[in-house]
């Protein structure tokens, strides 16, 4: 099993360009798996982990409800935002500057063939990272992602998640609010969950800005331990 994970930081990149790149890596891995099976080969499949920041964009998962977007195309354009319907699970999500987006494109045959465990490990990676900043983050039953003050009137989401998998190869991933402009979340019902607030790491820490590179390093360290992965930069 190949537990090496190639990490790339794409910087600030258009959503569609990033999606196309993900699809390319995803397809290459699946094609190799099919070829291996057909030829009874044991050639190792690669594992990737992409970090990226997107310009303002709203994305709707395949099971999502468009009415959870509260503005029309013109209002989106006025806010400098774009919109895409995509092939991950989950409902509506916002991405924008100041948010760390992570796309693990893993062949789970190299790790474990369990999508629920994969999602729980991604959540745990974020929970452990936030703990290093003194925050008690948790899961919220029946709601994928990472939250603060679960079970109270002050419950708020700090990290959204949505993945797709085919032949045990994953794509899409998580979006952790670090220095996000939270005003953009008012333009939608986040993840289709009414009455729940959204927050960002800098807001929780009472800081103007948190070092994004430092947060990424912490995420990768916890990812590496949880998945027993060897990180290749």
Residues acting as catalytic residues: 191
- The SS3 of residue 28 is helix
> DSSP states of 94-141 as a string?
EE-TTEEEEEEE-BGGGT-S-HHHHHHHHHHHHHHHHHTTT--EEEET
* Alpha-carbon distances of 112 from 109, 117, 167, rounded to whole Å: 6, 8, 12
CB 157 within 8 A of CB 145: yes
Encoding tokens for residue 151?
């079970």
Q: If residue 158 lies in a helix (H) or strand (E), which one and from where to where?
A: strand 156-166
* Alpha-carbon distances of 134 from 64, 115, 137, rounded to whole Å: 33, 29, 9
- The SS3 of residue 4 is strand
- The SS3 of residue 201 is helix
Fill in the DSSP letter of residue 40: T
């Amino acid at each position: 099993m190949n537990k090496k994970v190639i990490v790339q930081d794409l910087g600030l990149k258009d959503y569609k360009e990033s999606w196309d790149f993900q699809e390319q890596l995803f397809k290459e891995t699946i094609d190799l798996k099919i070829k291996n099976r057909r030829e009874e080969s044991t050639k190792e499949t690669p594992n990737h982990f992409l970090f990226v920041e997107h310009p303002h964009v709203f994305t709707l998962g395949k099971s999502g409800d468009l009415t959870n977007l509260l503005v029309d195309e013109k209002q989106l354009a006025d806010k400098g935002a774009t919109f895409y319907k995509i092939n991950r699970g989950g409902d509506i999500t916002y991405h924008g500057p100041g948010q760390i987006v992570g796309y693990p494109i893993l062949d789970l045959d190299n790790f474990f063939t369990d999508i629920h465990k994969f999602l729980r490990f991604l959540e745990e990676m974020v929970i452990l990272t936030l703990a290093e900043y003194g925050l008690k983050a948790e899961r919220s039953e029946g709601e994928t992602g990472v939250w603060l003050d679960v079970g109270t009137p002050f419950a708020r989401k700090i990290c959204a998640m949505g993945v797709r998998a085919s032949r045990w190869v994953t794509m899409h991933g998580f979006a952790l609010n670090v220095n996000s402009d939270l005003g953009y979340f008012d333009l939608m019902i986040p993840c289709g969950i009414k009455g729940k607030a959204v927050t960002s790491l800098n807001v929780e820490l009472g800081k103007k800005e948190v070092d994004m590179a430092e947060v990424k390093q912490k995420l990768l360290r916890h990812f590496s331990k949880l998945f027993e992965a060897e990180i290749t930069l």
